Structure 1
Amino acid sequence: MFKKILIANRGEIACRVIKTARRMGIATVAIHSDADRSALHVRMADEAVHIGPAPANQSYIVIDRVMQAIRDTGAEAVHPGYGFLSENPRFAEALAAEGVAFIGPPVGAIEAMGDKITSKKLAAEAGVSTVPGHMGLIEDADEAARIAAGIGYPVMIKASAGGGGKGMRIAWNDDEAREGFQSSKNEAASSFGDDRIFIEKFVTQPRHIEIQVLADGHGNCIYLGERECSIQRRNQKVIEEAPSPFLDPETRARMGEQAVALAQAVGYTSAGTVEFIVDGDRNFYFLEMNTRLQVEHPVTELITGVDLVEQMIRVAAGEKLALGQDDVTLTGWAIESRLYAEDPYRGFLPSTGRLTRYRPPAETAAGPMVASGKWVGQDDGASPVGEDAAIRNDTGVFEGGEISIYYDPMIAKLCTWAPDRAQAIEAMRVALDAFEIEGIGHNLPFLSAVMDHPRFVSGEITTAFIAEEYPDGFAGVTPDETARRRIAAAVAAMARVGEIRRARISGRMDNHERTVGDDWVVSIAGALLPVTIAADRDGATVRFEDGTTHRVASDWRPGQPLARLDVDGAPLILKVGKITGGYRVRSRGADLDVRVYTPRQAELLAHMPEKSDADTSRMLLCPMPGLVVRLHVGEGDEVQQGQALCTIEAMKMENILRAERRGTVARINAAEGDSLAVDAVILEFE
């Protein structure tokens, strides 16, 4: 077995590999750029080597610099994680030339399956059902439009060397095909150093289901069930689960057998994933094979008890698989929510900055991963989800750390396991409620909203779920009447606790607490709700005007950002921030300003003028921190609704900003190459 391995990656996946290596008694080496000098993976590793400036194309994907780090530290093997150099055959060849083991598949398999054009041809030759498309190289945008029209719209334009949703566009007509081709080509060149593009038929109403395979160098290959990855945004997976709520045992077996056959056909070893698109009749079509560890691998580990990173290391060391296909069992249900530094209220645009607060829920152990002795989380305290469920949080950040513009915006992968799907969803709801993140925009509210969405709960999902259910973007959740009443009662009781504290500090309070009244008015979601609070040592009873009551109990104290309450015997977790006259409250995807007034204050409130927002209708504002890649217009130009005005690159994704209506450009305040902050004025209209 290896004594020292280098992780040629960063962030949460580097931390994940370090955890398993540490359990196996293997020393680890981290590499880092200027931006990652204080990163979590650097802190966790036994050694760390600086390899260059912040941009990945000057550090993490520069093979010579990584190779020098290997030589300097004497690492015997390299785990590439995912992204960066994980599917780069030149990197694997460089390692082989140095006599260093690559913890991944052989170069031939990477070349055959890592290239999406080649992999589709090989899959077709092997008899695997594939999606119709054009696998040849495409010279320019006009040729892309002709090919797309021949296949039949809609089509998917994809980078041959792509992954992670980068370099992918859906086109519904010739204009979108031309534009999508160029954007995909640019993103592919920037992210992968390979701008080749192919086009395939886009299957409407599909499910994205993938099979995890594991193979050694002795002819053994197995599959470890499937993962449902249909909740996607811009082709980027957001929520994954294992197993799929859609597959039956027969379809699972057929998909698994095809995945194994394809892996064996290319001499595959290590962990890999064969991705399929599945229609409503459970017909499945090969999409691609990822010759690396997948981001969503934890859900497979949680239901099988197999540590995939450990297996990759053992296979690379020449060991045989210790389990056969008959040894693989799927137990319980696991769900993964990807927490991203992106603002769901601004079209999920990337967000950067400092994590002023980062408090994930306590990791707790349960299920097959624990029974196998391969748990890679931590037991950090009392479980917020009960003894029969587990929480695992794979992360590469910490409180006080920075989310950089240079890399993927992922903050963490929050996973839950439970005996069945309903319990796993409920555990995820609680875990998301208890996850505290401040300082940057993040998608926690959206993830919470999905967990409560009837369509997700039913399992009737497709890759179009987000586009269909949130066609105008995400504007938060509006709680129903019952939920609003529970929150109003909880905040009223909390406000009373705060008022008692203020009265005591000011000296207005006698021993009997007589100076704090019982009658209050709660302002929530545009409604004023008069309430009466009757408090005792065990909590408070909040009575509304119609006579209904809610019993509230909690040990919350003013200043605590997380309130764990009991309302009528049911738990309620609120993220709490103080605002004038009340609290900003976030729960289950809802973001509410809840204020508590005295009856007299509520009476006077009707006479208060409302503050109007500043008029920015004649400005194009930068919606995210990013780099100006291209200005499509000049001063004095007349523009039409929908016309491209500016292209902004953020976290390696290109975003085209368009005119909302007709107008004339009066002034341009930015130049190509400028780095802009959120809401910076790019240009102004007459």
Structure 2
Amino acid sequence: MFDKILIANRGEIACRVMKTARAMGIRTVAVYSDADKSALHVAMADEAVRIGPAPANQSYIVIDNVMAAIRDTGAQAVHPGYGFLSENPKFAEALEAAGVAFIGPPKGAIEAMGDKITSKKIAQEAGVSTVPGYMGLIEDAEEAVKISAEIGYPVMIKASAGGGGKGMRIAWTDDEAREGFQSSKNEAASSFGDDRIFIEKFVTQPRHIEIQVLADAHGNCIYLGERECSIQRRNQKVIEEAPSPFLDAETRKKMGEQACALAKAVGYTSAGTVEFIVDGDKNFYFLEMNTRLQVEHPVTELITGIDLVEQMIRVANGEALTITQDDVKLNGWAIESRLYAEDPYRNFLPSIGRLTRYRPPAELDIEAAVVRNDTGVFEGGEISMYYDPMIAKLCTWGPTRGDAIEGMRNALDGFEVEGIGHNLPFLSAVMDHPKFVSGDITTAFIAEEYPDGFGGVTLDEAALRRIAAAAAAMNRVAEIRRARISGTLDNHERKVGDAWNVAVQGVDFDMTVAADRDGATVRFADGKEHRVTGDWTPGDQLARMDVDGAPLVLKVGKISGGFRIRTRGADLRVHVRTPRQAELARQMPEKEPPDTSKMLLCPMPGLVVKLHVAEGAEVQEGQALVTVEAMKMENILRAEKKARVSKINAGEGDSLAVDDVIMEFE
């Protein structure tokens, strides 16, 4: 077995690989850019080597720099994680030439499956079901339009060397095909150094289901069930689960056998994933093969009990698989939620900055439940603009799908993140969405259920009553504390009343609070009572309460006259007032927000790539105004209505912050 391996990656995947290596008694080497010199993966490793400046194209994907780190540390093997050099055949070739083991598949398999055009042809020859499309090279946007029309809209425009949603667009018209081709080509060139594009039919009402395979160099190949990855945004997976709530045993077997047939056809070894699009009739079509460890691999590990990283290391060491297909048993259900540094209230645009608070829920591994958090950040650390915005992968397991969902709800409610925009509220909202709960989901879930973006969650009255009761009880604890401090200062005791009004989400609740040693009984004006217990004290930012015997986890912040409470995807301003204060508050006028309707504000920190209009130009609704690049993705900002550009405040190449004024209109 290897004595030392180098992880050619960063963030949570580097940390995750190190955990298994440590458990196997293998020393680890981290590599880092200038932006990551204080990163968690650097601290976890036994050794760490700087490999260049912050941009990935000057550090993490520079093969010569990584090879120098290998030579300097004497690492015998390299795990590439995902992204960066994980599917780069030149890197695998350089390792082979240096006599260093690659903890991944052979170079030939990477080349064959890394090119989506070639991989589709090989899949067809191997008897794998494939989607109709054009696999030849496409020279320009006009040819892309012609091909798209021949295939029939909608079509998927994809980078041949793409992955992770980069270089991918859906087009429904000629104009969208023309524009999508150019954007995909640009993203592909900047992300992968390969701007080749192909086009295939977009399957409507699709589910994204993938098969995990594991193969060795001794002719053995098995599949470890499937993962449902249909909850996606911009073709980037957000929530995954295993197994799929849609597949039956027969379809699973067919997909698994085809996945193994493809792996054998290219001489595949190590862990890999064959992705399929599945329609409503359980017809499945080959999408691509990822010749690496997938981001969502933990859910497969949780339902099979197999450590995929350990198996990858053993296969790279020349060992034969000790697991047969008959040994693979799917046990229970697992769900993964990807926590991203993206602001859901700004159409999920990237957010960067310092994590002023980062408190994941406690990890758990008992017979009835598992909570696992794969992360590469820490409180006080920076979320950089240079890399993927994923902060952590929160996973839960339970005996049933319902148990796994409930475990995820509670874990998300208890996950504290401050200092940046993040998608925790959205993840919580999905866990309570009827379609997700029922398993009735497609890759269009987010677009269909949140067509105008995510504006938060509106809770029903039953949930509001529980929150109001908890807030009233918490407020009484805070008032008693203030009364004691006040009494100490002015030598007389201030009384805390029992009658209160709680205003939340536009609803007023009048109530009385009767406290005792064990908690409080909150009686509403309609006569209904709620029993509230918990150990919250003023200043705590997480309240684990119990209302009528059911747990209620609240993230708590102080505002004037009450609390900012976040739970189940809702972000609430909860005002707790005396009856007289409530009466006066109703007379107060609401403050109007500033008028920014004649300005184009930058919705995220990023770089101005292209200005599509000039000062004085008349623009139409939907017209492209500016392209801003952030977190390796191009974002086209468009006109919301017809107007004339009166002033442009930014130029191409400028770096912008959130809400910087890009241009003004008249």
Who is 1:206 aligned against?
206
In 1: Cα distance, 2:284 partner to 2:508 partner: 53
In 1: Cα distance, 2:543 partner to 2:254 partner: 48
Who is 2:179 aligned against?
179
Check if 1:565 corresponds to 2:578: no
Show structure 1 runs of 4+ deviating over 2 A: 508-514
Who is 2:6 aligned against?
6
Who is 2:453 aligned against?
473
Normalised TM-score (structure 1): 0.96
> 3-state SS of the aligned residue for 1:424?
helix
- Given candidates 436, 447, 466, the residue that maps to 2:427 is 447
Give the counterpart letter for 2:161 in structure 1. A
Who is 2:139 aligned against?
139
Give the counterpart letter for 2:585 in structure 1. L
- Given candidates 410, 417, 421, the residue that maps to 1:437 is 417
Tell me if the contact between 2:137 and 2:198 (Cα under 8 Å) persists in the aligned partners. Answer: yes
Tell me if the contact between 1:273 and 1:292 (Cα under 8 Å) persists in the aligned partners. Answer: yes
Who is 1:375 aligned against?
none
Tell me if the contact between 1:87 and 1:291 (Cα under 8 Å) persists in the aligned partners. Answer: yes
Who is 2:613 aligned against?
633
> 3-state SS of the aligned residue for 1:124?
helix
- Given candidates 567, 572, 576, the residue that maps to 1:596 is 576
* 1:109-148 mapped onto 2 (5 Å cutoff): 109-148=109-148
**CA separation of 1:246/1:509 partners in 2, compared to 1, >3 Å: closer, same or farther?**
farther
* 1:308-323 mapped onto 2 (5 Å cutoff): 308-323=308-323
> 3-state SS of the aligned residue for 2:303?
helix
In 1: Cα distance, 2:249 partner to 2:29 partner: 42
Who is 2:61 aligned against?
61
Q: Where do 5+ consecutive residues of structure 2 fail to align?
A: none
Check if 1:338 corresponds to 2:338: yes
Give the counterpart letter for 1:565 in structure 2. M
1:33-86 residue CA offsets vs partner (Å, 9 max, x unmatched): 010000000000000000111110010000111111111111111000000000
In 1: Cα distance, 2:192 partner to 2:492 partner: 70
Normalised TM-score (structure 2): 0.99
Who is 2:47 aligned against?
47
Check if 1:675 corresponds to 2:655: yes
Tell me if the contact between 1:500 and 1:509 (Cα under 8 Å) persists in the aligned partners. Answer: no
In 2: Cα distance, 1:434 partner to 1:31 partner: 32
Check if 1:233 corresponds to 2:229: no
Tell me if the contact between 2:185 and 2:196 (Cα under 8 Å) persists in the aligned partners. Answer: yes
Give the counterpart letter for 2:249 in structure 1. P
Tell me if the contact between 1:562 and 1:575 (Cα under 8 Å) persists in the aligned partners. Answer: yes
> 3-state SS of the aligned residue for 1:507?
helix
Who is 2:73 aligned against?
73
In 2: Cα distance, 1:605 partner to 1:450 partner: 34
Tell me if the contact between 2:487 and 2:494 (Cα under 8 Å) persists in the aligned partners. Answer: no
* 1:611-622 mapped onto 2 (5 Å cutoff): 611-622=591-602
* 1:458-607 mapped onto 2 (5 Å cutoff): 458-507=438-487, 515-607=495-587
Percentage identity across paired residues of the two chains: 82
1:513-559 residue CA offsets vs partner (Å, 9 max, x unmatched): 87000111111111222111111111111111111111111110000
In 1: Cα distance, 2:602 partner to 2:489 partner: 51
> 3-state SS of the aligned residue for 2:119?
helix
**CA separation of 1:541/1:109 partners in 2, compared to 1, >3 Å: closer, same or farther?**
same
TM superposition shift of 1:602:
1.1
1:336-379 residue CA offsets vs partner (Å, 9 max, x unmatched): 0000000111100110000000000111113xxxxxxxxxxxxx
Tell me if the contact between 1:3 and 1:26 (Cα under 8 Å) persists in the aligned partners. Answer: yes
- Higher mean displacement: 512-521 or 203-212: 512-521
TM superposition shift of 1:511:
12
> 3-state SS of the aligned residue for 1:240?
strand
Who is 2:635 aligned against?
655
Who is 1:373 aligned against?
none
**CA separation of 1:510/1:245 partners in 2, compared to 1, >3 Å: closer, same or farther?**
farther
TM superposition shift of 1:512:
12
Q: Where do 5+ consecutive residues of structure 1 fail to align?
A: 367-386
Tell me if the contact between 1:340 and 1:411 (Cα under 8 Å) persists in the aligned partners. Answer: yes
TM superposition shift of 1:667:
0.9
Give the counterpart letter for 1:461 in structure 2. I
1:478-519 residue CA offsets vs partner (Å, 9 max, x unmatched): 110100011011101111111111111111799998700011
TM superposition shift of 1:606:
2.4
- Given candidates 385, 406, 421, the residue that maps to 2:386 is 406
- Higher mean displacement: 510-519 or 3-12: 510-519
In 2: Cα distance, 1:460 partner to 1:506 partner: 56
> 3-state SS of the aligned residue for 2:377?
coil
TM superposition shift of 1:607:
2.4
1:552-583 residue CA offsets vs partner (Å, 9 max, x unmatched): 11110000000000101111000000000000
> 3-state SS of the aligned residue for 2:523?
strand
Tell me if the contact between 1:508 and 1:515 (Cα under 8 Å) persists in the aligned partners. Answer: no
1:143-164 residue CA offsets vs partner (Å, 9 max, x unmatched): 1011000000000000111111
In 1: Cα distance, 2:402 partner to 2:587 partner: 48
Who is 1:37 aligned against?
37
In 1: Cα distance, 2:409 partner to 2:598 partner: 41
Q: RMSD value over aligned CA atoms? A: 1.2
In 1: Cα distance, 2:583 partner to 2:365 partner: 52
Aligned residue pairs total 666
Who is 1:381 aligned against?
none
Tell me if the contact between 1:500 and 1:513 (Cα under 8 Å) persists in the aligned partners. Answer: no
In 1: Cα distance, 2:238 partner to 2:616 partner: 42
**CA separation of 1:509/1:420 partners in 2, compared to 1, >3 Å: closer, same or farther?**
farther
In 2: Cα distance, 1:590 partner to 1:147 partner: 45
Tell me if the contact between 1:540 and 1:552 (Cα under 8 Å) persists in the aligned partners. Answer: yes
In 1: Cα distance, 2:592 partner to 2:34 partner: 43
**CA separation of 1:97/1:413 partners in 2, compared to 1, >3 Å: closer, same or farther?**
same
Tell me if the contact between 1:622 and 1:681 (Cα under 8 Å) persists in the aligned partners. Answer: yes
Give the counterpart letter for 1:162 in structure 2. G
> 3-state SS of the aligned residue for 2:572?
strand
Check if 1:164 corresponds to 2:168: no
In 1: Cα distance, 2:497 partner to 2:449 partner: 45
1:244-275 residue CA offsets vs partner (Å, 9 max, x unmatched): 11111111111100100110011000000001
